[in-house]
């Protein structure tokens, strides 16, 4: 009877030992993990510096004087009215780089205007009175025009619209939908 009682006591102790053993293992594991941070280490600083990113900001204005802030502009409505077959009209616009990063100007037309069979748009670097480069015929896909424009500078471009000679007589007196010249300023990477 007494032996049975002792056995029962031992049986009761087993879970306690197991619990103590488990707790100890966990503690040792914790010490081991924490201890790895206490190993030797040294450090040597890298010369302090700071990275400042620049900016890329484009503006546009009609005429040969740039705008410090405008990102859209409208041509004088009379600039391209009453055009005759074979006639070409030009107007100067100026793009400004008011940021710090050089960019290339890529020009394109809205899809409807680009699909026009009797109108041809071209953009050339320089003012219309003194073009500074070959014109680029515009389409719905952006195309680079002129050289890179560095920060804090302005550059003028000449937009020329030509009405085809073979435009049908039935088009006389009609108005083409307003066109949109899209100018993208893409970071220049030599």
Contact footprint for other proteins (CB under 8 A): 36, 39-57, 99-101, 187, 189
Q: Cα angle at 101 between 95 and 106, to 5 degrees? A: 45
Cβ contact 159:30 at 8 Å: no
Cβ contact 128:64 at 8 Å: no
Q: How far is the CB of 93 from other proteins (least distance, A)?
A: 22
Alpha carbon distance 10, 14 (integer Å) = 6
Closer residue to other proteins (CB): 136 or 183: 183
Q: How far is the CB of 182 from other proteins (least distance, A)?
A: 15
Closer residue to other proteins (CB): 1 or 169: 1
Closer residue to other proteins (CB): 154 or 188: 188
Q: How far is the CB of 103 from other proteins (least distance, A)?
A: 10
Sign of the dihedral defined by the CA atoms of residues 171, 172, 177, 180, in that order: positive
């Amino acid at each position: 009877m007494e032996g049975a009682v002792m056995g029962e006591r031992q049986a009761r102790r087993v879970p306690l030992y197991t619990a103590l053993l488990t707790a100890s293992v966990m503690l040792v594991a914790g010490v081991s993990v924490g201890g790895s941070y206490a190993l030797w280490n040294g450090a040597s600083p890298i010369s302090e510096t700071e990275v400042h990113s620049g900016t890329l900001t484009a503006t546009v204005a009609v005429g040969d004087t740039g705008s410090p802030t405008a990102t859209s502009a409208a041509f004088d409505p009379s600039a391209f009215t009453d055009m005759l077959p074979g006639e070409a009209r030009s107007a100067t616009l100026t793009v400004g780089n008011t940021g710090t990063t050089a960019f290339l100007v890529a020009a394109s037309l809205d899809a409807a205007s680009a699909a026009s069979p009797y109108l041809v748009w071209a953009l050339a670097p320089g003012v219309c009175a003194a073009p500074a480069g070959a014109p680029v015929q515009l389409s719905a896909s952006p195309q680079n025009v002129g050289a890179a424009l560095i920060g804090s500078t302005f550059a003028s471009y000449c937009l020329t619209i030509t009405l085809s000679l073979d435009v049908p007589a039935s088009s006389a007196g009609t108005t083409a939908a307003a066109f949109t010249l899209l100018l993208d300023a893409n970071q220049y990477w030599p």
